[in-house]
């Protein structure tokens, strides 16, 4: 999953980024409202961690832009402000959760996981489709008692497709969520198509259902 961390305290922002990247999230940083606005307009995000007290604008003003350009993103407000009116305003504008500073990074991760469970309708450690089970803690795919050998990129791609079941994802979205940076050494313009083919082959060894649909010229959809 891809997150945008909007936080003007650079040390805290880097700490959050480092922690979440160890949990296999892709993270971008914005230290001002203007930087955040630019990223929101060009990148798709699953979660946006939003500080209210930004140096150049009120963070709450960004929520409208998030809904306009990242309608699928879930918003967690992180702020030192503890007034009830800030919470009420945030939720009224469409925020999904509110975490006052100081907070534990473990608690932040638990909040993200809780929203993910509500959003995608699965329990914390397992995503099930047919007789397949994705173990999100161990990052493994099983068919009944058989472990299916997936590369790291194949696992990331499959789990992201399954989490977004029945939703069309274009190649740009998939590439950005799996890589985070187009210029990594292992980037290949045919990456998505090649690895979708490999994933299908590995799934079809156990189950010939057409889980991953191709929308020609657009992208892919995982159907359940």
Domains and CATH numbers, the chain: 2-120 (3.40.50.2300), 126-222 (1.10.10.10)
For residue 149, pLDDT beyond 80: yes
Total Cβ atoms within 10 A of residue 14: 14
Q: What is the model's pLDDT at position 122?
A: 54
Task: Look at strands 97-100 and 126-129 and give their pairing.
Answer: unpaired
pLDDT confidence bin for 183, thresholds 50/70/90: very low
pTM: 0.68
Q: What is the model's pLDDT at position 121?
A: 59
Bond into 102 cis (ω within 30): yes
Least confident of 25-29, 86-90, 190-194: 86-90
Give pLDDT tens digits for 29-57.
999 999 999 999 988 888 999 998 899 99
132 versus 91: the higher-pLDDT residue is: 132
pLDDT confidence bin for 167, thresholds 50/70/90: confident
For residue 123, the SS3 value is coil
Cα–Cα nearest to 49, from 30, 67, 68: 30
What are the start-end ranges of the H helices in 29-136? 33-42, 62-69, 84-93, 105-120
Q: What is the mean pLDDT of residues 193-213?
A: 93
Cα–Cα nearest to 221, from 171, 179, 181: 171
Q: How far apart are CA 65 and CA 165, in angstroms?
A: 25
For residue 130, pLDDT beyond 70: yes
Q: How far apart are CA 73 and CA 6, in angstroms?
A: 14
């Amino acid at each position: 999953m891809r997150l945008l961390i909007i936080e003007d305290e650079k040390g805290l922002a880097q700490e959050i980024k480092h922690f979440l990247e160890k949990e296999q999230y892709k993270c971008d940083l914005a230290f001002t409202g203007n930087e955040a606005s630019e990223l929101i307009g060009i990148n798709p995000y699953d979660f946006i961690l939003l500080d209210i007290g930004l140096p150049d604008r009120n963070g709450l003003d960004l929520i409208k832009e998030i809904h306009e350009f990242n309608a699928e993103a879930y918003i967690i407000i992180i702020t030192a402000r503890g007034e009830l009116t800030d919470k009420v305003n945030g939720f009224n504008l469409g925020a999904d959760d509110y975490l006052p500073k100081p907070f534990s990074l473990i608690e932040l991760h638990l909040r993200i996981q809780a929203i993910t469970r509500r959003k995608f309708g699965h329990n914390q450690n397992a995503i099930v489709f047919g007789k397949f089970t994705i173990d999100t803690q161990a990052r493994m795919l099983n068919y009944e008692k058989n472990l299916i050998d997936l590369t790291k990129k194949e696992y990331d791609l499959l789990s992201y497709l399954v989490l977004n079941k029945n939703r069309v994802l274009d190649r740009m979205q998939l590439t950005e969520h799996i890589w985070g940076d187009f210029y990594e050494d292992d980037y290949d313009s045919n990456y998505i198509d090649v690895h979708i083919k490999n994933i299908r082959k590995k799934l079809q060894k156990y189950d010939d259902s057409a889980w991953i649909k191709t929308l020609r010229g657009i992208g892919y959809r995982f159907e359940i």
